[in-house]
Structure 1
Amino acid sequence: MKWRKLLALGMAAVMTAAFVSGCGSDKAKDGSSSAGKKIVVGLDDNFPPMGFKDENNEIVGFDIDLAKEASKRLGREVEFKAIDWSSKEAELKSGRVDILWNGLDITEKRKENMLFSDPYMDNRQIIFVKKGTTGITDEKSLAGKVVGTQSAGTAEEYMDKSEFFKKDVKEVKKYSDYVSAFMDLENGRIDAVVGDEITGRYYMSKHADSIEAVDSVVGEVSEFGIAFSKDNQQLRDEVQKVLNEMKADGTIAKISEKWFGKDITKK
């Protein structure tokens, strides 16, 4: 009788293994090895209106709403992880985050180390000053001034390469986030902020009595994209597919209207 019990146990083990294997196959019916896996989005959580903490300490914003809707359509949970933005490429390469989705400019230098989605929004770098300021009308009028910007951003990259900012501007002060830069501008510690138009105009809408924009582009107009690690082409393509669907059905336009008052995304 003992051998019969052993045979029965062996057959049960084989059947269990086959059942587990079958379940695994069902999970991958869509052809995606990452089906159901949580997506970790890395961001600077002090970058309004793209991604920031509200009064309830919840991460909200334009890019947050896009990522939530895209993840929902992919049938995957999403986690938003605040990171040191100056170390964003290392965070992505190490796998600590799956995506950088936070008003990230597409540049040739960044393309060397990251995959990008199609651009979904234009981004200009413009000048912001304290309300009532005179004499600052364009880039060249910043000569002799103290100018603030955010570290590891497109404006900083441009100014670091510019002979004008190196030689003629009195000082370029770099901040961990734009909010800190604008607070120093309001308090008279710096003369101007050069930075993302989207962020600046959002901040300006909340501080209309103290900040105004100088509608003059500094550097080249760039485009926002979503970044993925070089070896994650599959996730990039999955996200791009649902973004195309969201654009076609008007979802992206509605999210833009919620945060900016109109659709300012790329058509």
Structure 2
Amino acid sequence: MKKIVAVICGLVVCLSMASAKKKSSGKFVLGLDDSFPPLGFRDKNNEIVGYDIDLAREVASRLGLELVCQPIDWSTKEMELNTGKIDCIWNGLTLTEERKRAMACSEPYLANAQVVVVRNNGEIKSLSDLKGKKIGVQAGSSAQEAIDGAPDFKKSLKEIVEFKENVTALNDLEFGNLDGVVMDLVVAGYSITQGKKPLVILDETLAPEEYGIAFSRKNKSLRDKVQKTLLEMQADGTVAKISTKWFGSDISTIGK
């Protein structure tokens, strides 16, 4: 009996140590779509970089944590968060009332809008010109939600093709397989400029929006720590420096 008790006690100690080790792992696991420039993407060396990554790395450093960038399937991002595989979703996540109810979201840190990208041949100049046309959209994205939120526009389209990421959709548009791509303004502008693509963004927007960071509702304390750190970074000029690096000016909305 004493041996059995000793074994049980040993197991309890081991489990406790494992649990403590997990809690003190010192890692901040960020879930992202790693093909979403300029917020989070892979550079020529296959390293994950971007505006959101720079912000998160500085936040993690100030909190004494190691940033771990974990690529995920964007269409299952909420599940990845709720199962504890990631600590947050930080990669151009549009704040919606539904997401605010389902997750513990930060305050907005960047303004954005859902827009339509078309070829620059001048054939399509407005949303109405897309009647009977085929457009692409990233599955599970706020762009898809923006289309659903504009029923007249959606009904006018011939076909909506879903893609895993925007990069492939833009390539198909450039090759003539699509007539337009609905996506985030911030990402569209960067992709067109950096890739020198023969594409333009229509002036009409489908929906204005704001980006935020999502955490599990069970982990509001981490959300609050990150939010507090971002405000400190905004106050000391760190956010402005990072924003200028990626966008040429400070376009952050933190604390504004």
Superposed counterparts of 1:112-261, under 5 Å: 112-137=101-126, 139-219=127-207, 221-261=208-248
TM-score, scaled relative to structure 1: 0.84
Q: What's the CA shift for 1:193?
A: 1.1
* Alpha carbons 1:35, 1:76 under 8 Å: kept: no
Q: What's the CA shift for 1:252?
A: 0.8
Q: What's the CA shift for 1:209?
A: 4.8
Aligned residue number for residue 105 of structure 1: 94
SS class of match (1:180): helix
C-alpha separation in 2, matches of 1:182 and 1:133: 17
* Alpha carbons 1:165, 1:172 under 8 Å: kept: no
Q: What's the CA shift for 1:235?
A: 0.3
Aligned residue number for residue 17 of structure 2: none
C-alpha separation in 1, matches of 2:67 and 2:251: 25
Q: What's the CA shift for 1:162?
A: 3.2
C-alpha separation in 2, matches of 1:35 and 1:106: 30
Mark the runs of 5 or more structure 1 residues left unpaired by the alignment.
Answer: 1-23, 25-33
C-alpha separation in 2, matches of 1:133 and 1:179: 22
Q: What's the CA shift for 1:206?
A: 2.1
C-alpha separation in 2, matches of 1:173 and 1:75: 43
Structure 1 runs (4+) deviating above 6 angstroms are none
TM-score, scaled relative to structure 2: 0.87
Aligned residue number for residue 78 of structure 2: 89
SS class of match (2:218): coil
Mark the runs of 5 or more structure 2 residues left unpaired by the alignment.
Answer: 1-19
Post-superposition Cα deviations, 1:222-248, rounded to whole Å, max 9, x if no partner, equal 110000000101101111110000111
Q: What's the CA shift for 1:134?
A: 2.2
Task: Write the letter of the residue equivalent to 2:209.
Answer: S
What is the CA RMSD across the aligned residues, in angstroms?
Answer: 1.8
Task: Write the letter of the residue equivalent to 1:176.
Answer: K
Task: Write the letter of the residue equivalent to 2:159.
Answer: E
**CA pair 95-186 structure 1, distance change in 2 beyond 3 A:** same
* Alpha carbons 1:63, 1:101 under 8 Å: kept: yes
**CA pair 209-38 structure 1, distance change in 2 beyond 3 A:** closer
